[in-house]
Amino acid sequence: MEDEHVKDGKRHNGLGRHLSTASEGETKGSFRRQPSVEIDDSLYSRQRYVLGDEAMKRMHRASVLILGLGGLGVEIAKNLILGGVKKVSLWDNQPARWLDLSGNFYITEEDVKKRVSRVDACIGKLRELNPGVTVEIFDGDATSPEGLKSLHGQFNCVIATEIALASRIALNRQLRSHKIPFITGDAFGIFVTGFCDFGDEFLVHDPSPEESRELLIGHVTQTEQGEVTCLEGYMHHLEEGDLVEFKDVRGMTELNGRVFVVNKVVSPLSFAIGDTTKFSPHEQGGIAKQAPKPKTVSFHSLEDSIRKPALLDCDLARFNAAKECHVSWIALMQFEEKYSRLPNPQDLAEVSEAIQLAKQAAQDQELTDFDEKFLQAAIRASSGQLNPLVATMGGVLAQEAMKALTCKWTPLRQWLHLDARDIYSQDSTVSILDDRYDGIRACIGDKTLEQLKNLKVFMVGCGAIGCETLKNLALIGVGCGSKGMVTITDDDRIEKSNLNRQFLFRPEHIGKSKSEMAADRVKCINPDMQVTAYLFRVSPATQKTPFNDEFYHNQHIVVNALDNVQARIYMDSRCVTNCKPLLDSGTLSTKGHVQVVVPFLTESYGTQRDPAENAGDSIPYCTLKSFPALIEHCIEWAREKFQSSFSMKPEVFNTFWNLHGPSTGQVLQALQKKSHLENVAIVYKLISAQPKSLQDVVKMARMKFEKYFTFKALQLLYMFPEDHVLEGGIRFWTAPKRAPIPVMFDPENKLHMDFIRSATALYAHIYNVPVSTSDLTMEKLKTLVAKVHIPSFVPKGKEVASVTATTAPTTNQSLSHSAEEAHRLADLLQSSLERGDFSATDTMSMHPESFEKDDDANFHIDFIYAAANLRAAMYRIDGSNRTHVKRIAGRIVPAIATTTACVSGLATLELIKLAQDLNKMTPERKHLLDSSVLTRYKNTFLNLALPVIYFSEPGEAKKTVLPGGITVSLWDQWSVNGDMDFTMQNFVEAVKDKYHRDVSTILQGSKMVYMPFMPGHKNRLAEPFKKYLDLPEEEDYIDLSVDMGDDDETMDGEENMVIWPPVRYYFRPAQK
C-alpha cells in the first residue's frame, strides 16, 4: 500500500510523505517560543550520535523541575545537566542529614554539621557540571496549591522525589490537565521505584532506537505485490507494518523520495510494498531505508496506576519481585503519610506496623505468593541509601525525562521497581553512629560495610564508566578502611568531549591525566577513600611492572571500565590466571551490559565471543577502491587517503631515513651499495614531490583534487564506458556499481575549496613548509590555485581493482623494491648535493599526522569531510554532513550519561556480593561456591530506549572430566618450577612427579616444542629446555599446552582427545 502513515496502530492513506509536525509532540512551555540553538559538537558529539540533532535541539530548549534533592534527585539532575537541557530548577525543603551522605555525592560532612539545606549544598556543584545549562532554585513551595498553579507554562517536565503521596497525586493531576509529563521516583534502601505519566495522548516521533541502515536494492517487481529484493549481504530486518523510504532508484523513479508500508516480509532479503503495476519498470539499483514510524502512547494517572500498576518485569527468575516492591512502596508511602517519616529500623513496633501495611497492600493487589523476608528487609532498610541502586534508577528516570522532552523512543509504561535483596542479611547488625556511613549500614549491615572498607579493588579505565563507578565505590565505603585501597589506571588524558559523560572532570582539567584527576576528585565525595592512580595501559608491556602477578594477588576484585574488546579480553585472561573476580560492564548508546565473573564458579568474559561481523557491514576492497555505493564507502575511502598520505607515508619516510642514514650522505651510500631497499619507491616519490613554497603546496593539493575526482572518473570510463557490456550481455555498470562522472574543479564551489584548504594545510605540515592562518584564507587560496597548470588527462593501461576483490594488496604487492627506483633516488640525491640544495651531513624528516577527530583546528576531519563528499558527488551518491562523517571516520562509539549511570550502578551492586563471598574464592574453599551462591549474582542487559532491563544468572564454568576422574574447568591451572638450566627431560619428570601423568606433547602457543613422533624431537629431551622456548623478558614464566596420557587410557581403540589444564612453567628460580 502506497504512502501510508500509522497512528494508534491503524493505517491511513496519504499522497505525500507523512511528517509529524513539531507541535504534535510538544509539551507545554512551548519550544517554539525559544530561539534556535546550536549544538556544541566538541562537547556533545558522543551524545549527539545517540539522540540525533533534532532531539538535542529540543533538549537545549527544555526546562525541567526536580523536587527533592536526596540521592535520587541529585542523580537525575546530574544526568540531565550533563545531557544539556536548557534549564533545571531545583526545589527541596530539607537540611543535609547524615543519611544523605550515602546517596547524595555533593553533600559533605561539613554541610551536615552546619545543617546547610540540601539544595544550597548541591546547586553550586551541579552548575559546574555544564556551564551551558541554567541551574536555579525554584522559589516558593512547589507542593502548595499556589505553587502547583505556577508550574503551568514554565516547565516541559516535572520530576518529583521525596514528597508526600498526596502531594504527588495533586501535582500529577495538575500537570495532566496541562499535558506536562510527570515522573516520580523513590529510593528506599534496598529497593528503588520509578513511575512515568506523559498524559492521555503522547506522540512518540521515533519509537525505535535502532539506527536505520541503507539497503542496496537489487530488483523491484512491477506487480500487485511489489516485491523489493535487496542485494546479497544486505538483510533488511524489517517487519510487517514498518515504513521504508526510497531514493536513487533508476527506472521505477516513482519510488524515489516516498515512504511505503511493508505489507509483507517475503524473506530476509525481500519485502513487499504493494501494487507497483502503474509504475515504470525497474532498471537497476536504488536504496531503501527504514523510516520512523510515529505512534501515540496513552498513560494512566499516578492515582489510578497505584491500584492497577503496569509493571516492567526485569528478573524472570523472580516473577513477583516487581509486585513485592510495589506493595512495599505503598506501605512506606502510607506510613510516611501518617508519621511524616519512615519506620525506625530499630523500633520493632514501627517495623511491624509497616509490614502489616505491606501485607494489606499485597492483599489489595491480589498478591498471595510473596517473599515475606523481602518485605521485612525492605521495611527495615527503607531509611537507608544504597547509591549503586539509586544511581541506576537515576539513569533510568533521567532517560525517561529526555524521552518526554524529545518525543524520541518508547517511554516507560509505567512502573519500574528494582531491588538488591541478595545483599541484605536478616541477621546483620545495623549501627546508627551519626556518620557518613549510616545510610549504607542500614542497607548492608555493619559486617559488610567493614568488608567494603577494607577491600582492595583494581579498576581499569577512568572514563565515563570509571568516573561513575568510582563515585559509587566512594559512597559505599570501598577502600575507606585501614587495609583498603582502590587502585585505578588510565593512560588517557581529559578532552572536552569527555565532559558530557565523565562527571568528575571540569573544563580546567582538559589535558590532565584522567586517573590522577579522578583520584583527586573522588576524595571530595569521600575523603576517607584511599586511592592510588597509575597512568599506564594494561597490556603485556606492563605485565612485568607494575601489573605483575604479585600485584593481582594483592587485589580482591578487578573492575573493568574499558571501551574496547581487546583490553577486556586481556584483563579477563589476567583475572582467570590469577583467580580473581572480575566485573565487566560496557555501553553502546542506550544499550548496556554487566557481567560478573566469579572464580571457580562462572564462565569468564572470554568464554563468550561476539558474533561474526555482518557481511553488509564490511567493505570489500574493490568497493572502497573503485565502486562505492553508499556514503559510508566514500567516508572510509577518504579516511584511508588521509592515513596513507599524511600518516603512513611520512612514517615510512622517517623509518627509511633513520635506518639508512640519518645523514643524506649515508643514505646515498646505502643506495649506491644496495639496489633493493624496502620502501624506496615511496621515499623517491615523496622527495621528488617535495614542495618548497606555499605555491608548491597549493599545486600539490590542486593536483590531488584532479587525480582523485576527475582523472579517476575519466580513467574508469575509459576502461568501462557507461554502455560497456560483459560477456553474456550483462552491462558492466549494474547495481551496486555506479558509473562515475568527473568532478570539474570550480573555485567558487565551497566544497572544492574546502578540499584545497585542508589538503594545503596538511601537506604543508608534513613537509615542514611554513603556512600562516592568512595563507589559508579562501581569497588567497583562490589566487594561488588559479596559477596552477593542470595537464590534460592521459588514459593509463593499468587494471582496476577486481570487482570481487575483498582485501587490499599485501605490502609486498603494493611496495616496489626495484633497482631502477633506487638508482633514480640516488641520482636525485646526488644532483641535489651537487646543486647545494643540502649538504651530505644534513638529515631529512617529515612530520606525520596522528589522526585526531576531536580537534577542529587540525584539518583532519575537514579533509575527510571534503574528500568523502567529493567522491560521493563523483559517483552520484547523496553527500553527508560533517557530524556523520566525523562519527564514521573517527570510529566514535555513541554514548550517553544515563546508560553509563545504570551499568555502573548495577556493576557496583555485584561488587558488594563479591565482597560478601570473597572468603569462598580460594582453591581451598572453592567447594563452598555452589549453585546457591550462583543464584545471588546477576548479569544484566539493558536498553533504556525501549526500555528493557534483563537480569540473568551468570553462566556456570564448563567442567571437563579428565582420564582418572579429575574434573577441571577454565579456572584450573597446573604449574612446574624450574630454572634456566632445566632440561626438557627435567620438565617431563617434574610433571610426572607432581601430577602423576606422562607428557606426550608440549606446545607453546602454536609452536611445537616436543612431539615424540617428529624427527629429532626425542633427542631434545637431554637438551636445555630454554633452547626450544620463547622466554619473555618481562615475565618469569610461560604458559604451555601439555598433553598427557597413559597407553592404556583409550576410547574405542583410540587415544583419548583431552584438553588438559595449561601448565605454567616458572623458568627463574626466584619465582615460586
Q: Average of pLDDT values for 713-725?
A: 94
Is there a common fold for 629-790+816-876 and 960-1066?
no
For 147, 193, 194, 397, the CA distances from 93, given in Å and listed in that order, are 14, 21, 21, 22
**Is residue 132 pLDDT above 80, yes or no?**
yes
Fold of 629-790+816-876: Arc Repressor Mutant, subunit A (1.10.10)
Lowest mean pLDDT among 91-105, 467-481, 717-731: 717-731
Q: Which three cell numbers stand for residue 750?
A: 565551497
Q: Does domain 38-207+298-453 have CATH number 3.40.50.10330?
A: no
Q: Which three cell numbers stand for residue 535?
A: 597512568
Q: Average of pLDDT values for 796-814?
A: 54
Residue 3: per-residue pLDDT = 40
Residue 311: per-residue pLDDT = 97
Residue 806: band (very low, low, confident or very high) from pLDDT cuts 50, 70, 90 = low
**Is residue 201 pLDDT above 70, yes or no?**
yes
Between 185 and 140, the more confident residue is 185
Q: Name the pTM for this structure.
A: 0.90
Residue 602: band (very low, low, confident or very high) from pLDDT cuts 50, 70, 90 = very high
CB neighbour class for 1012 (10 Å; exposed up to 12, middle 13-18, buried from 19): exposed
Most confidently modeled range among 599-608, 752-761, 1049-1058:
752-761
Q: Which three cell numbers stand for residue 836?
A: 647545494
CATH number for the domain running over 457-616+908-955: 3.40.50.720
Residue 124: band (very low, low, confident or very high) from pLDDT cuts 50, 70, 90 = very high
Q: Read off the pLDDT of residues 1004-1028 as tens digits, 9 standing for 90 and up.
A: 988 999 999 999 999 999 999 999 9
Between 1045 and 424, the more confident residue is 424
Q: Which of 487, 372, 469, 376 is nearest to 427 (CA)?
A: 376
Taking residue 806's Cβ as centre, other Cβ atoms within 10 Å add up to 12
Q: How far is CA 543 from the centre of its chain?
A: 26
**What residues contact residue 412 under an 8 Å CB cut-off, 6+ apart?**
194, 196, 312, 396, 400, 947
List active site positions. Answer: 622
Q: What angle do CA 623, 624, 625 make, to 5 degrees?
A: 95
Q: Which three cell numbers stand for residue 620?
A: 570489500
Residue 452: per-residue pLDDT = 98
Lowest mean pLDDT among 210-224, 432-446, 566-580, 1030-1044: 1030-1044
Residue 23: per-residue pLDDT = 33
Q: Read off the pLDDT of residues 281-299 as tens digits, 9 standing for 90 and up.
A: 999 899 999 999 999 999 9
Spelled out in words, what is the top-level CATH class assigned to the domain 209-291? mainly beta
For all residues of the chain together, what is the average pLDDT?
Answer: 91
Q: Read off the pLDDT of residues 422-473 as tens digits, 9 standing for 90 and up.
A: 999 888 899 999 999 999 999 999 999 999 999 999 999 999 999 999 999 9
Q: Percentage of the chain with pLDDT > 90? A: 78
* Interatomic CA distance for residues 930 and 601, integer angstroms: 8
**Is residue 622 pLDDT above 90, yes or no?**
no
Lowest mean pLDDT among 368-382, 763-777, 1037-1051: 1037-1051
Residue 253: band (very low, low, confident or very high) from pLDDT cuts 50, 70, 90 = very high
Residue 35: band (very low, low, confident or very high) from pLDDT cuts 50, 70, 90 = low
* Interatomic CA distance for residues 659 and 670, integer angstroms: 10
Q: Which of 383, 335, 391 is nearest to 360 (CA)?
A: 335
Q: Read off the pLDDT of residues 514-526 as tens digits, 9 standing for 90 and up.
A: 999 999 999 999 9
**Is residue 13 pLDDT above 50, yes or no?**
no
Q: Average of pLDDT values for 506-533?
A: 97
**Is residue 207 pLDDT above 70, yes or no?**
yes
Which three-class secondary structure state does DSSP give residue 1014? coil
Residue 393: band (very low, low, confident or very high) from pLDDT cuts 50, 70, 90 = very high
**Is residue 740 pLDDT above 50, yes or no?**
yes
Q: How far is CA 977 from the centre of its chain?
A: 42
Q: Average of pLDDT values for 751-780?
A: 97
**Is residue 29 pLDDT above 70, yes or no?**
no
Q: Which three cell numbers stand for residue 73?
A: 534527585
DSSP class of residue 206 equals B
Residue 1070: per-residue pLDDT = 58
Most confidently modeled range among 68-72, 147-151, 1038-1042:
68-72
Q: Average of pLDDT values for 844-865?
A: 95
Burial code of 128-157, b = ≥16 C-beta within 10 A, e = fewer?
Answer: ebbeebebeebeeebbeeebbebbeeebbb
Q: How far is CA 159 from the centre of its chain?
A: 28
Peptide bond before residue 662 is cis, with ω within 30 degrees of 0: yes
Residue 674: per-residue pLDDT = 77
Residue 20: per-residue pLDDT = 31
Q: Read off the pLDDT of residues 870-898 as tens digits, 9 standing for 90 and up.
A: 999 999 999 999 999 999 999 999 999 99
CATH number for the domain running over 960-1066: 3.10.290.60
Which three-class secondary structure state does DSSP give residue 70? coil
Partners of residue 247 on adjacent β-strands: 287
Taking residue 958's Cβ as centre, other Cβ atoms within 10 Å add up to 10
Residue 609: band (very low, low, confident or very high) from pLDDT cuts 50, 70, 90 = low
* Domains of the chain by residue range: 38-207+298-453, 209-291, 457-616+908-955, 629-790+816-876, 960-1066
Lowest mean pLDDT among 175-184, 433-442, 577-586, 1003-1012: 1003-1012
Residue 5: band (very low, low, confident or very high) from pLDDT cuts 50, 70, 90 = very low
* Interatomic CA distance for residues 257 and 262, integer angstroms: 16
Residue 210: per-residue pLDDT = 86
**Is residue 649 pLDDT above 50, yes or no?**
yes
Q: What angle do CA 123, 125, 127 make, to 5 degrees?
A: 70
Q: Average of pLDDT values for 3-11?
A: 37
CB neighbour class for 250 (10 Å; exposed up to 12, middle 13-18, buried from 19): middle
* Interatomic CA distance for residues 984 and 223, integer angstroms: 75
* Interatomic CA distance for residues 1035 and 736, integer angstroms: 52
Residues 628/630/631/633 CA torsion (nearest 10 deg): -50
Q: Average of pLDDT values for 748-772?
A: 97
